[in-house]
């Protein structure tokens, strides 16, 4: 990893094989809009039977010698080339893997053709400052590897991921979570902006079951409507209307079916 500018974290990103993407402008058909999300599942937070449980991790402070020993132990357990390296100033660099589990579409600059994976690798160009936006849904369960510093904060990781995908949404819409599996249970905790993911990775070791990172929507239970753009709000209204119409259609269909069965039973009954 090259030298970073003062005050600016240095990032490198490698890409997994999951690269297929989909796009939808505001003028796209309703059927395409339905592929993204529904207002019922995306805007309202509902309890789930498999809801991840929150847990607090212990994050002890390590001395220089303890850090060096931890890095040696970590590298000894890694089966790939994703090693950690100790720097002369006491900091260290390494890789974290982030799984993207986004339900809602994100916004990217609109252009004559959708940005490709190669565009995302190159980063924003001169011609990306446009007013119009295109709705874009990231590949389901895409995984990205980032090469970061030990002092890189969770908020900077989120911003780096969004820049790589040319996402222009407010970073506050997203949150970085740490996930763990213990005794058949899944535990999830949202990282604060200033927490350091690579430090957590070192303390937990390389096992993905012990700890992994997930990028999700930053749902706090209440929708911050001011954080959405006008096209997004219009899309929400359209989806709400279609959901209402579909809900009414299902109710009418249900009662029509019941009425038909009752009438068939009446006709089958002998008179008298």
What's 12's DSSP letter? E
Q: Which residues pair with 214 in a beta bridge?
A: 99, 177
Task: Determine contact, residues 136/106, Cβ cutoff 8 Å.
Answer: yes
Cα–Cα distance, 213 to 176 (Å, whole number): 7
Neighbours of 57 (CB within 10 A): 14
pLDDT tier at 25 (50, 70, 90 boundaries)? very low
Cα–Cα distance, 92 to 68 (Å, whole number): 9
HSE, CB side, 13 Å, CA atoms: give it for residue 181: 5
pLDDT tens, residue by residue, 115-131: 555 555 555 554 444 45
Tokens of 182: 């213990």
Neighbours of 187 (CB within 10 A): 16
* Burial bucket for residue 248 (CB in 10 Å: 0-12, 13-18, 19+): exposed
pLDDT tens, residue by residue, 33-88: 333 333 333 444 444 444 444 444 556 788 889 999 999 999 999 988 899 999 99
Q: Report the C-alpha dihedral over residues 255, 256, 262, 266, rounded to 10 degrees.
A: 150
pLDDT tens, residue by residue, 128-186: 444 577 777 787 778 899 999 999 999 999 999 998 888 888 898 899 999 999 888 88
Q: What Cα–Cα distance (Å) separates residue 171 from each residue in 215, 260, 271? A: 11, 53, 71
Cα–Cα distance, 70 to 59 (Å, whole number): 13
Q: What is the CATH number of domain 64-107+132-221?
A: 3.10.20.90
Neighbours of 219 (CB within 10 A): 15
Task: Determine contact, residues 18/142, Cβ cutoff 8 Å.
Answer: yes
Residue 55 confidence (pLDDT): 47
| Whole-structure pTM value | 0.57
Q: Which residues, 6 or more positions from 156, have their beta carbon under 8 angstroms from its beta carbon?
A: 9
Spans of all domains in the chain: 64-107+132-221, 223-267
pLDDT tens, residue by residue, 193-243: 999 999 999 999 999 999 999 999 987 655 667 777 888 888 888 888 988
Cα–Cα distance, 216 to 10 (Å, whole number): 23
> H or E segment at 179?
strand 174-182
Residue 5 confidence (pLDDT): 43
């Amino acid at each position: 990893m090259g030298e970073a500018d003062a005050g600016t974290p240095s990032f490198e990103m490698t890409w997994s094989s999951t690269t297929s993407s989909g796009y939808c402008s505001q003028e796209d058909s309703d059927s395409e809009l339905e592929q993204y999300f529904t207002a019922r599942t995306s805007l309202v937070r509902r309890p789930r039977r498999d809801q991840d449980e929150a847990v607090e991790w212990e994050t002890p402070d390590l001395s220089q010698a303890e850090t060096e020993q931890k890095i040696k132990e970590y590298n000894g357990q890694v089966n790939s080339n994703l090693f950690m390296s100790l720097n002369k100033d006491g900091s260290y660099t390494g890789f974290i893997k982030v799984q993207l589990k986004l339900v809602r579409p994100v916004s990217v600059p609109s252009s004559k053709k959708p940005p490709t994976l190669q565009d995302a690798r190159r980063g924003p160009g001169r011609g990306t400052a446009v007013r119009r936006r295109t709705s874009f849904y990231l590949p389901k369960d895409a995984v990205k590897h980032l090469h970061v510093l030990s002092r890189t904060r969770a908020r900077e990781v989120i911003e780096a991921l969004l820049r790589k995908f040319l996402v222009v949404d407010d970073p506050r819409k997203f949150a970085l979570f740490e996930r763990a599996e213990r005794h058949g249970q899944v535990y999830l905790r949202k990282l604060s902006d200033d927490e350091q993911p690579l430090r957590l990775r070192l303390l937990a070791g390389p096992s993905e079951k012990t700890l992994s990172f997930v990028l999700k929507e930053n749902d706090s239970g209440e929708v911050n409507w001011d954080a959405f753009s006008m096209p997004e709000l219009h899309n929400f209204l359209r989806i709400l209307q279609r959901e209402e119409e579909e809900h009414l259609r299902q109710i009418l269909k249900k009662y029509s079916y019941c009425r038909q069965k009752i009438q068939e039973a009446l006709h089958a009954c002998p008179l008298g």
